[in-house]
Amino acid sequence: MKLFNYIHQVKFPKVIRNSSFSTLWHKPDKKFLVPKAYVVIDFHCPLANNSPEAEVLTSLFVSLLTDYLNDYAYNAQIASLSYSISSTATGFQVAVTGYNHKMRLLIDAIMMQIAQFEVKANRFSVFKETYLKEYENIKFSQPYSQASYYLSLMLYDQSWPSNENLEALSALNADHLSKFIPNLLSRTLLECFVAGNIEAKEAEKIITDIEEILFKTPNSVFKPLFPSQYLPVRVAMLESSLKFLYRMKGMNLKDENSAIVQYIQIHQDDPLLNVQLQLFSLIASQPAFNQLRSVEQLGYITSLSSRSDAGVRGLEVIIQSTVKDPDNLDARIDAFFASFERTIYELNDKEYKRNVKALIDSKLEKFKNLWEESGYEWAEIINGTHKFDRFESEVEVLRELKKEEFIDFFNQYIKVNAPKRKTLSVQVFGNKHLTEYERVCGESDTPQTYRIEDIFRFRRSRPLFGSRRGGPCQIAVQS
């Protein structure tokens, strides 16, 4: 093993190769100086999640592929290498990390297994049974998890309900997967990132070898993706000054717990709004817990935090309770925001600066190792944002942020009845609150609320945030 000597300091990843088959990002390591590398290959396959059946079959393919590679696990471990294969919203992903001197052998072995994949009926049956149990057990999950699941189902443009996945899975057999795999792989784009102790020429050689194995062997099912088939994840846009409500009975009729997730959608990845949202979350999270959990004792599970969905940022409050029904919990959350106005307005300069400094300090913390840094950079690549200096640029914005601007952010986006407030309240009623469920279902909506009766009709009716991901060959090779 040896460390490559890079003449020039490379601060950020850059695209060093484009082809009809792949895009390659590369960043050599000049910080940690270890003979290790981080390699990730994302398979963008438009047929991977275009139906409940396709989503289930893709998951089965990934599980079987991982199972078939178990023979390599021990040797990889001996060589201090690790690998993972996982489903994504747009296909599947292979990641390999560890010492770089034997990494090529492992990557080639994984790619050969993908290229020569065959379904073994006995192993298919094992994993089908596992997935059947997992889908059936969803109804026994915690009510707050059910609420979070339904929130994601309403936000993400191409996502499928678990009951449809279960129905599709029940009818599948090994032959269905055997016929599906050639279709899945028939149009594929590889989005790749190689970081660490690997020179640019070696990184290019890794990817050209992968292209040879997958796309250029006789009878290969792999073909390059048409640009029009590049379908990134997109998120539904909520409406200002309106609260959307979705109410449902808990899946487990024996569970007394009810739950709510109140989600406030803010923006799509803007530096100023990013830091203002993060600052509010920092200031409000502990007071929210104290008021809703400790003082009002509404539920053991209580939290306020920011969240990101494909780069769309928002705030969510979660409560799980046997004490109050979800409609009441929703009112208590709004009451907290109303009472918290005074805290925001009376925030003195010293306390404001203390919170700003705490947020700045968290952003200036150094990455501990190559994996942390590369994982952060890969997230920027796969989200299409490419803001590799995000922390530094947001620190600069924070240093210039005035308290009056922060208060205006609260008044515009967070405050109850704020002009730009976009709210979605997902309410799960446990068996202790079924009477309240019947009551609220019989009530009329106010002018400021909209009741969602059909999740998918609602999702189809909403405009979508644009994606930042450019698609095949949209990013020029950088010298």
Average pLDDT of 334-362?
A: 97
For 319-347, what is the mean pLDDT? 97
Mean pLDDT of 330-342: 97
Q: What does the block give as tokens for 268?
A: 């799509």
Residue 4, pLDDT score: 67
- Given pLDDT bands bounded at 50, 70 and 90, which one contains residue 469? confident
Convert 25-58 to b/e letters by CB count within 10 Å (16 or more is b).
Answer: bbbbbeeeeebbbbbbbbbbbbbbbeebbbbbbb
How do residues 51-75 score in pLDDT, each as one tens digit? Answer: 999 999 999 999 999 999 998 888 8
Instruction: Return the bridge partners of 86, or none.
Output: 93
Predicted pLDDT at 197: 95
pLDDT band at 330 (very low <50, low <70, confident <90, very high): very high
Instruction: Read off the pLDDT of each residue in 22-45 and give the average, rounded to a whole number.
Output: 95
What would the pLDDT profile of 187-239 be if each residue is shown by its tens digit? 999 999 999 999 999 999 999 999 999 999 999 999 999 989 998 999 999 99
Backbone angles phi, psi at 5, to 5 degrees: -100, 110
Phi, psi angles (nearest 5°) of residue 213: -65, -45
Tens-place pLDDT, residues 272-298: 999 999 999 999 999 999 999 999 999
Contacts of 169 by beta carbon, 8 Å cutoff, 6+ apart: 56, 128, 131, 132, 135
Question: How confident is the model over 373-390, as a mean pLDDT?
Answer: 95
